[in-house]
Protein backbone atom coordinates (compact mmCIF):
# COMPACT_ATOMS: atom_id res chain seq x y z
CA UNK A 1 0.00 0.00 0.00
CA UNK A 2 0.90 3.69 -0.23
CA UNK A 3 3.95 4.55 1.84
CA UNK A 4 3.66 6.65 5.00
CA UNK A 5 7.19 8.07 4.67
CA UNK A 6 6.86 11.90 4.53
CA UNK A 7 10.07 12.20 2.53
CA UNK A 8 8.64 10.05 -0.25
CA UNK A 9 5.34 11.94 -0.14
CA UNK A 10 7.17 15.21 -0.53
CA UNK A 11 9.28 13.79 -3.37
CA UNK A 12 6.13 12.45 -5.07
CA UNK A 13 4.43 15.85 -4.75
CA UNK A 14 7.36 17.63 -6.37
CA UNK A 15 7.65 14.96 -9.08
CA UNK A 16 3.99 15.39 -10.03
CA UNK A 17 4.27 19.17 -9.75
CA UNK A 18 7.24 19.26 -12.12
CA UNK A 19 5.52 16.88 -14.56
CA UNK A 20 2.33 18.97 -14.61
CA UNK A 21 3.99 21.62 -16.78
CA UNK A 22 3.95 19.14 -19.70
CA UNK A 23 0.17 19.51 -19.69
CA UNK A 24 -0.08 23.21 -18.93
CA UNK A 25 1.55 25.94 -16.88
CA UNK A 26 0.05 26.11 -13.42
CA UNK A 27 0.59 27.45 -9.92
CA UNK A 28 1.83 24.15 -8.50
CA UNK A 29 4.53 23.90 -11.15
CA UNK A 30 5.55 27.50 -10.53
CA UNK A 31 5.89 26.75 -6.84
CA UNK A 32 8.08 23.72 -7.64
CA UNK A 33 10.12 25.74 -10.14
CA UNK A 34 10.90 28.60 -7.79
CA UNK A 35 11.61 26.16 -4.95
CA UNK A 36 14.08 24.36 -7.17
CA UNK A 37 15.89 27.54 -8.14
CA UNK A 38 16.21 28.58 -4.52
CA UNK A 39 17.43 25.17 -3.37
CA UNK A 40 19.87 24.86 -6.27
CA UNK A 41 21.39 28.26 -5.48
CA UNK A 42 21.61 27.35 -1.79
CA UNK A 43 23.38 24.11 -2.66
CA UNK A 44 25.92 26.07 -4.70
CA UNK A 45 26.63 28.29 -1.71
CA UNK A 46 26.95 25.36 0.69
CA UNK A 47 29.33 23.52 -1.64
CA UNK A 48 31.22 26.72 -2.37
CA UNK A 49 31.81 27.39 1.32
CA UNK A 50 32.85 23.79 1.85
CA UNK A 51 35.24 23.99 -1.09
CA UNK A 52 36.77 27.18 0.29
CA UNK A 53 37.21 25.53 3.67
CA UNK A 54 38.70 22.31 2.31
CA UNK A 55 41.06 23.78 -0.26
CA UNK A 56 41.70 27.28 1.05
CA UNK A 57 41.15 27.60 4.80
CA UNK A 58 42.96 24.34 5.62
CA UNK A 59 45.98 25.64 3.70
CA UNK A 60 46.02 28.84 5.77
CA UNK A 61 45.74 26.74 8.95
CA UNK A 62 48.70 24.69 7.73
CA UNK A 63 50.73 27.91 7.56
CA UNK A 64 50.45 28.82 3.87
CA UNK A 65 49.59 32.46 4.55
CA UNK A 66 49.79 33.28 0.82
CA UNK A 67 46.27 31.83 0.52
CA UNK A 68 45.03 35.02 2.17
CA UNK A 69 45.66 36.59 -1.25
CA UNK A 70 43.33 34.00 -2.77
CA UNK A 71 40.64 34.87 -0.21
CA UNK A 72 41.01 38.57 -1.04
CA UNK A 73 40.70 37.76 -4.75
CA UNK A 74 37.64 35.64 -4.03
CA UNK A 75 35.93 38.45 -2.15
CA UNK A 76 36.81 40.82 -4.99
CA UNK A 77 34.60 38.67 -7.23
CA UNK A 78 31.56 40.09 -5.45
CA UNK A 79 32.55 43.63 -6.36
CA UNK A 80 30.68 43.07 -9.63
CA UNK A 81 27.48 43.93 -7.80
CA UNK A 82 28.82 47.35 -6.81
CA UNK A 83 27.98 50.30 -9.05
CA UNK A 84 31.29 52.11 -8.59
CA UNK A 85 33.87 49.39 -7.78
CA UNK A 86 32.58 46.65 -10.09
CA UNK A 87 35.91 46.73 -11.99
CA UNK A 88 37.64 45.06 -9.03
CA UNK A 89 36.01 41.78 -10.02
CA UNK A 90 37.99 41.75 -13.27
CA UNK A 91 41.17 40.70 -11.45
CA UNK A 92 39.95 37.37 -10.08
CA UNK A 93 37.89 36.72 -13.21
CA UNK A 94 40.98 37.29 -15.34
CA UNK A 95 42.80 34.71 -13.25
CA UNK A 96 39.99 32.20 -13.64
CA UNK A 97 39.62 32.80 -17.37
CA UNK A 98 43.37 32.60 -18.02
CA UNK A 99 43.57 29.40 -16.00
CA UNK A 100 40.56 27.85 -17.70
CA UNK A 101 41.59 28.83 -21.20
CA UNK A 102 45.18 27.73 -20.73
CA UNK A 103 44.22 24.38 -19.24
CA UNK A 104 41.73 23.52 -21.94
CA UNK A 105 43.36 24.76 -25.15
CA UNK A 106 46.69 23.11 -24.45
CA UNK A 107 45.06 19.68 -24.54
CA UNK A 108 42.36 20.53 -27.10
CA UNK A 109 45.07 21.00 -29.71
CA UNK A 110 46.20 17.45 -29.07
CA UNK A 111 42.91 15.64 -28.47
CA UNK A 112 40.57 17.45 -30.83
CA UNK A 113 42.98 18.26 -33.58
CA UNK A 114 46.20 16.25 -33.81
CA UNK A 115 44.84 12.87 -32.70
CA UNK A 116 41.69 13.17 -34.81
CA UNK A 117 43.63 14.13 -37.93
CA UNK A 118 46.25 11.45 -37.42
CA UNK A 119 43.56 8.80 -36.93
CA UNK A 120 41.84 9.93 -40.12
CA UNK A 121 45.13 9.86 -42.02
CA UNK A 122 46.50 6.56 -40.78
CA UNK A 123 43.37 4.41 -41.00
CA UNK A 124 43.74 2.20 -44.12
CA UNK A 125 40.94 2.73 -46.62
CA UNK A 126 41.25 -0.68 -48.26
CA UNK A 127 40.73 -3.50 -45.77
CA UNK A 128 40.41 -7.24 -46.13
CA UNK A 129 36.63 -7.26 -46.70
CA UNK A 130 34.12 -5.20 -48.68
CA UNK A 131 32.14 -3.96 -45.66
CA UNK A 132 35.31 -2.89 -43.87
CA UNK A 133 36.44 -0.96 -46.93
CA UNK A 134 33.05 0.74 -47.30
CA UNK A 135 33.05 1.66 -43.60
CA UNK A 136 36.58 3.06 -43.79
CA UNK A 137 35.70 5.09 -46.89
CA UNK A 138 32.53 6.50 -45.32
CA UNK A 139 34.45 7.47 -42.17
CA UNK A 140 37.22 9.15 -44.15
CA UNK A 141 34.86 10.93 -46.54
CA UNK A 142 32.63 11.99 -43.64
CA UNK A 143 35.51 13.48 -41.67
CA UNK A 144 37.04 15.35 -44.62
CA UNK A 145 33.81 16.66 -46.14
CA UNK A 146 32.46 17.74 -42.73
CA UNK A 147 35.60 19.84 -42.18
CA UNK A 148 35.32 21.32 -45.69
CA UNK A 149 31.68 22.20 -45.00
CA UNK A 150 32.79 24.58 -42.24
CA UNK A 151 35.15 26.56 -44.49
CA UNK A 152 32.98 29.60 -45.13
CA UNK A 153 35.78 32.02 -45.99
CA UNK A 154 36.19 30.49 -49.44
CA UNK A 155 32.88 31.06 -51.25
CA UNK A 156 34.06 29.24 -54.41
CA UNK A 157 34.32 26.06 -52.35
CA UNK A 158 30.54 25.99 -52.05
CA UNK A 159 29.80 26.65 -55.73
CA UNK A 160 29.72 24.52 -58.85
CA UNK A 161 30.90 20.93 -59.03
CA UNK A 162 33.36 21.38 -56.18
CA UNK A 163 30.41 22.51 -54.05
CA UNK A 164 29.36 18.89 -53.79
CA UNK A 165 32.21 18.24 -51.34
CA UNK A 166 30.76 20.38 -48.53
CA UNK A 167 27.28 19.20 -49.56
CA UNK A 168 28.26 15.58 -48.96
CA UNK A 169 29.65 16.69 -45.61
CA UNK A 170 26.32 18.29 -44.77
CA UNK A 171 24.40 15.17 -45.77
CA UNK A 172 26.59 12.92 -43.66
CA UNK A 173 26.29 15.32 -40.73
CA UNK A 174 22.51 15.30 -41.09
CA UNK A 175 22.57 11.52 -40.98
CA UNK A 176 24.70 11.72 -37.83
CA UNK A 177 22.41 14.33 -36.26
CA UNK A 178 19.46 12.03 -36.91
CA UNK A 179 21.30 9.34 -34.96
CA UNK A 180 21.90 11.87 -32.20
CA UNK A 181 18.18 12.70 -32.14
CA UNK A 182 17.32 9.01 -31.89
CA UNK A 183 19.64 8.67 -28.92
CA UNK A 184 18.23 11.81 -27.34
CA UNK A 185 14.74 10.29 -27.40
CA UNK A 186 16.08 7.24 -25.55
CA UNK A 187 17.98 9.44 -23.15
CA UNK A 188 14.98 11.53 -22.13
CA UNK A 189 12.65 8.58 -21.79
CA UNK A 190 15.33 6.72 -19.89
CA UNK A 191 15.46 9.58 -17.40
CA UNK A 192 11.72 10.02 -17.02
CA UNK A 193 11.02 6.32 -16.53
CA UNK A 194 13.09 6.55 -13.36
CA UNK A 195 10.63 9.04 -11.93
CA UNK A 196 7.62 6.93 -12.93
CA UNK A 197 9.20 3.85 -11.35
CA UNK A 198 9.76 5.90 -8.17
CA UNK A 199 6.09 6.92 -8.08
CA UNK A 200 4.81 3.41 -8.66
CA UNK A 201 7.36 1.54 -6.53
CA UNK A 202 8.38 3.83 -3.70
CA UNK A 203 5.26 6.00 -3.33
CA UNK A 204 2.25 3.93 -4.37
CA UNK A 205 4.08 0.62 -3.79
CA UNK A 206 2.17 -1.15 -6.56
CA UNK A 207 5.27 -2.65 -8.18
The residues in 134-193 that bind other proteins, with binding defined as CB under 8 A, are 134-136, 138-147, 149-150, 169-193
Residues in region 102-131 near other proteins by CB under 8 A? 102-113, 115-117, 119-120
**One of 4, 126, 161, 207 touching other proteins (CB under 8 A):** 207
**One of 68, 101, 125, 162 touching other proteins (CB under 8 A):** 101
Of the pair 162, 196, the CB lying nearest other proteins is at 196
Tell me how far, at minimum, the Cβ of 162 lies from other proteins, in Å.
Answer: 17
Residue 59: exposure state from Cβ atoms within 10 A (0-12, 13-18, ≥19): middle
Distance CA 148, CA 145 (A): 5
Tell me how far, at minimum, the Cβ of 52 lies from other proteins, in Å.
Answer: 4
Tell me how far, at minimum, the Cβ of 89 lies from other proteins, in Å.
Answer: 7
Using CB under 8 A, count the residues that bind other proteins.
133
- Of 116, 134, 117, whose CA–CA distance to 125 is shortest? 134
Distance CA 130, CA 171 (A): 23
- Of 149, 109, 145, 141, whose CA–CA distance to 125 is shortest? 141
Largest Cα–Cα distance of the chain, in whole Å?
71
Tell me how far, at minimum, the Cβ of 163 lies from other proteins, in Å.
Answer: 15
Tell me how far, at minimum, the Cβ of 182 lies from other proteins, in Å.
Answer: 3
**One of 77, 127, 157, 158 touching other proteins (CB under 8 A):** 77
Tell me how far, at minimum, the Cβ of 159 lies from other proteins, in Å.
Answer: 18
CB count within 10 Å of CB 17 equals 19
Of the pair 162, 197, the CB lying nearest other proteins is at 197
Residues in region 11-50 near other proteins by CB under 8 A? 11-12, 14-15, 17-19, 21-24, 30-50
Asked whether position 68 contacts other proteins by CB under 8 A, the answer is no
Per DSSP, the residues of 48-109 read HHHHHIIIIIHHHHTT-TTHHHHHHHHHHGGGGG-TTTGGGGHHHHHHHHHHHHHHHHHHHI
**One of 3, 28, 73, 127 touching other proteins (CB under 8 A):** 73
Q: Within 13 Å, how many C-alpha atoms sit on residue 12's CB side?
A: 17
Amino acid sequence: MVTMDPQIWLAAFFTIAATSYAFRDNVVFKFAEYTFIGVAAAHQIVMGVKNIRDYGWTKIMEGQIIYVVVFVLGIMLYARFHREYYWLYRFPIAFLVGNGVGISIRAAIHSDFIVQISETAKTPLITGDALGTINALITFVGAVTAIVHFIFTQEKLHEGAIGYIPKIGRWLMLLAFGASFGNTVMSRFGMYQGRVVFLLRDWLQII
